[in-house]
Structure 1
Amino acid sequence: MNAFRLAGDMSHLVSVLVLLLKIYATKSCSGISLKTQELYALVFLTRYLDLFIYVVSVYNTLMKIVFIASSLAIVWYMRSHPLVRRTYDKDQDTFRHYTLIGGSLLLALFFHDKFTIREVLWAFSIFLEAVAILPQLILLQRSRNVDNLTSQYVLFLGAYRAFYILNWIYRFVTEDHYSAWISWIAGVVQTALYADFFYYYFISWKNNAKLQLPA
């Protein structure tokens, strides 16, 4: 494992911890898209079907368990916790996320490494992860003023994918015959979706002001 992959994993882990901290400490999920969280839960459940079948390393297995468990815990908190669910911005979180699921599944049926259930679902999870942040970004644009923990959550989530792109470049240069075109294309699309958020986050940080996104 190279430093870029490790930095990406740690950024991803920090983003989850920041979100859990926000929900647990404040008993609020205001500004958080339940639809995005449900999409991420689906991403991890379909990607890690081999959790107890194919073990790469203890680290790899633990990370899989952490991401599955944390994504399900976040969805449970937002849907079932009596205090947290009251703060959910249901009226603003209206993105039709089922279209993202359907589109990702359609792409996976045509573009995959091997036509097996496991490989098609793996490709599906990659395509879905690329666009899963869309409901969250749209919700932030609608709410305009973004609290610090929510903005940090999105920041670390975007950094995770950016580090993974550097990881792929590093592996392409240092490893013979390394190719992962499905992940590459989806990763570039996913990172591009964060570009606008990164810009306004940098401007707010530079001006020492609260993050505000344009409507």
Structure 2
Amino acid sequence: MGAGSKRPINTVVGWVTRQPPKVRACLCVVVSIAALVFLGLVVHNHDNLFVAAEAAHAVGISVLIYKLVKERTCAGLSLKSQYLTALFLAVRLYCSFILENDIHTVLDTATLATTLWVIYMIQYKLKSSYMEDKDNFAIYYVIVPSVLLAVVVHPSTAHFIFNRIFWAFCVYVEAVSVLPQLRLMQNTQIVESFTAHYVFALGVARFLSCAHWVLKVVDTRGGLLTAMGHGLWPPMVLIAEIVQTFILADFCYYYVKSVFGGQLVLRLPSGVV
């Protein structure tokens, strides 16, 4: 009975797998829109989606902690992605203290502390299992464009100019901070389960966060964008959220395919990242 119940899902997954990349991309967009509509109808308070995003991120961090503490290995994890995560969290934490000072400050503090602990474990305690040769994404490809873009496109609020640039910088870095992790997994092409669970949790968190922003814009009939200022900044925030989601979309597809196929490890074909 269990195998029979999975057969239709496996059939759908198999059909999607046989489609060209452009068709899969279109299907991903259609599924994402359908999921947004579903969440908009089911979740009455769309602020709860942000809480759900933080919860999904916390689950991913918990999986990461388990891998490092119990498995005593950091194989498959990108130290550079953790550096970028710590960077945007530190900048966002500063901005939260200056600009908001609310519950997000508490959440970011906890996440930053955990990320710094992960960096310490990878760099010192478990260095022998760190795949340094595979973790070869040059992070200045992320930092330099993010700085330049933040200087040009940032909030038009009444806050001090440097604070507004910092705010924009952390948004842009967050959008692409997972790229070194994806590059490492592409280089190895075989992703063990705990790393796959962690990255999938990031993908879920990113989608829920994106859904939160999109639905809030719909709820306010564009008023949220107006409140964020004028010019290119409001649409850039939404674009950054969407970019984060779709960067991880292809990985999440192969993750789901692997889970329904009963595989303990995830095998990535070339060209996913």
- Sequence identity, in percent? 33
Distance 1:54 1:185, change over 3 A: closer
Shift of 1:52: 4.5
| Larger Rg, first or second structure (1 or 2) | 2
Structure 2 Cα separation of the partners of residues 34 and 18 of structure 1: 16
Using structure 2 for the length normalisation, give the TM-score.
Answer: 0.73
What is the identity, as a one-letter code, of the residue corresponding to 2:113? A
Q: Is the contact between residue 93 and residue 105 of structure 2 (CA under 8 Å) also seen in structure 1?
A: no
Aligned to 1:175: 220
CA distance in 1, matches of 2:267, 2:149: 34
Q: Does the C-alpha gap of structure 1 residues 41 and 167 become closer, same or farther in structure 2, counting only changes over 3 Å?
A: same
Alignment equivalent of 1:104, drawn from 146, 166, 170? 146
The match for 1:88 is 130
Choose the corresponding residue for 1:79, options 116, 119, 123: 123
Distance across 2 between alignment mates of 1:27 and 1:116: 44
Report if aligned partners of 1:126, 1:182 keep a CA contact under 8 Å in 2. no
Higher RCO (C-alpha 8 Å, min separation 6): 1
Choose between structure 1 and 2: higher helix proportion: 2
How many angstroms does 1:27 deviate by?
1.5
Following TM superposition, the consecutive aligned residue runs of length 4 or more in structure 1 with deviations greater than 3 angstroms are: 50-57
* Partner residue, 2:207: 162
Shift of 1:126: 0.7
Tell me which of 179, 190, 206 is aligned to 1:145: 190
Give the unaligned 5+ runs of structure 2: 1-45, 226-233
1:25 aligns with 2:70: yes
Q: Note the aligned Cα RMSD (angstroms).
A: 1.6
Aligned residue in 1 for 2:84: 39
Q: In the alignment, does 2:59 pair up with 1:14? A: yes
Distance across 2 between alignment mates of 1:54 and 1:132 = 23
Worse overlay, 174-183 or 111-120: 174-183
TM-score (norm 1): 0.92
* TM alignment of 1:93-132, pairs within 5 A: 93-114=135-156, 116-132=161-177
Shift of 1:175: 2.5
1:86 maps to amino acid: S
Structure 1: unaligned runs, 5 residues or longer: none
Query: 2:256 maps to which residue?
Result: 202
